Structure 1
Amino acid sequence: MTPWTTSIICYIGLALVSFVPVVIAMLKKVKLHPGGETFSESPYFSDSNKKLLQQHFTRLHGTLVFWKNKAEWHKRFHYYTLIWTIPVSILIPIITQTVDTTFEPKLFLTIISTHTALLIAFHRALKIENNFKAFRHGESEFYDLYRRLLDRPVSFGSTEEKQIETYFIEVENIRRAVRIAETDNLPMIDDNKKRN
């Protein structure tokens, strides 16, 4: 076995093995971490309002799991792309100087160039970085808001009703912002043509 054949096998093997975490993030559902005390233990709200807030959080649970899963998948694909494209883009000009006219060196160069090109293309077309930021920021902003209502409800208003209403409105604004970011970042092929 020549050094070029070994390099091809090692490169393909490493590329596939390092892609496993991306596949796992796509298939596995991330669970939400318990965040300490919830509204049911809050000293600031009446029993009926505690129930209202708990029901609201229960309805949001699916959205939060979706955001967390999407953020995790986009993060892993983003880092996978960076880990492979940066070193390979530096190595390609160096390897090009050592390639002779035989088949194996040219095949190795073709494989690493194609892998890099595919990663960059998918990263851009799927808008990986923008989607990661949108889902991660939405999740983070919601939990900041959630903790603020638990810790400092008076920052939302002077009465329980005002605090809860303001909280619900702000949660809706976060959901709308993430939805807009998600739809703005839908995968598409660039089209510069004017549409009727």
Structure 2
Amino acid sequence: MGFYLCRRLVEEFPYLNEGDLSKLKAILSSRKHLFEISRTISLGDFLFLGKGEKQDRGGEKMNITSSAFEAVIAAVFLDGGLPKVELFLDRFFDPFFEQLREKRIKINDYKSEAQELFQKVWGMAPIYLVDEEHGPDHDKLFTVVMVGPNNNKLVEGRGRTKKDAEQTAAKLYIQQLFPDKNRMDFDAFFIEFSEKE
């Protein structure tokens, strides 16, 4: 899938620099995105799960269904080779590329953007510290604090994973600095697309 996305991104957006292409590739190949794709074909309904995982609704879990989607890609490759994989993936990624072109979506990697701002202003990267963890292991909620120079607490973000909480904190920090900045949220983009399917 990585090869497919690299080729498509370079073909579709030859004017983007390497950093922006890498950010887009990371978003399109993320577990979250693959999970949204797997939901459009109800992949979780076709998984053979153990009794405990069935009771725990494993077919609706991001890690399980996104991994299953990757396994389907591997099966298509083994059965029909790279040309069949590309046709298979086109079905799922064509609408995303079309919307990326139409809406000229900006890349929302807030953590990288916050780091660039920090480097310019303070000559350092922001520090993210886990402030709180709530909930059972399979359904935790993390609170992360973004710390700046002199250990000043700047903002805090929450998320189901540490990475999500860090992205939320970075997003809030950027919004504090640039409250009128017009950006499209990729999460909203994915939700909007999946609702259309």
Asked if these proteins are the same fold (TM beyond 0.5), I'd say no
Q: TM-score, normalised by structure 2?
A: 0.28
Q: TM-score, normalised by structure 1?
A: 0.28
The structure with more helix, counted as a fraction of residues: 1
Q: Which has the higher contact order (CA 8 A, sep 6+)?
A: 1
